[in-house]
Structure 1
Amino acid sequence: MNAFLYSPAEIRPSPSASASCASPCHNCRHIRRIAAACSRSSEPPLDWVLARRRAIGDQIRAARLHANLTQQAVAERAGMDKAIYVRVERGHPPR
């Protein structure tokens, strides 16, 4: 079984995506959906939710490092602020 949700080939930007990703590729849209799904609630999340967020963040980080990209580069390609991307990679919901 693959340890990653997506293989490194699946996280590479499409050839049509520029460095600024003016026309977001599938991967950038997917990262935005993940960030949007991490909305805050008035109640603290359950333990299994926190563990799952951390696991997903670890997989995102491993894939980013495997692709030899910086957090800033991934955030720009995804069309989000670096601070938000860092929170997602750490398993925290974006603010």
Structure 2
Amino acid sequence: MQRLIDLFKNKFFLVTVAFVIWMIFFDKNDLLSQYQYRQEVGKLKAERDFYQNQSDKVSKDLEELNSDPQKLEKFAREKYLMHKDNEDVFVIVKEKK
């Protein structure tokens, strides 16, 4: 019991405890902030992966469109409603219920 009392009277121990408490709860880089930063990093990494996958998909589609004229024509007809001079294009829009 005397050792415990002596430990709490030691100024170096008290300063160390105060420093640890300050760093855990009151500093701008406290534990809660670190947890939030890690959460944000996780979300940003997932977002980065999503956009990289989308970029790869678009690059693949672009390569296919540049290499195959039939796919280019199909793409232009579907996305931009392009047509030949002697054709009519009808757009069918489904009504939402």
Fold shared per TM-score above 0.5 = no
Higher RCO (CA-CA < 8 Å; seq separation 6+): 1
More helix by share: 2
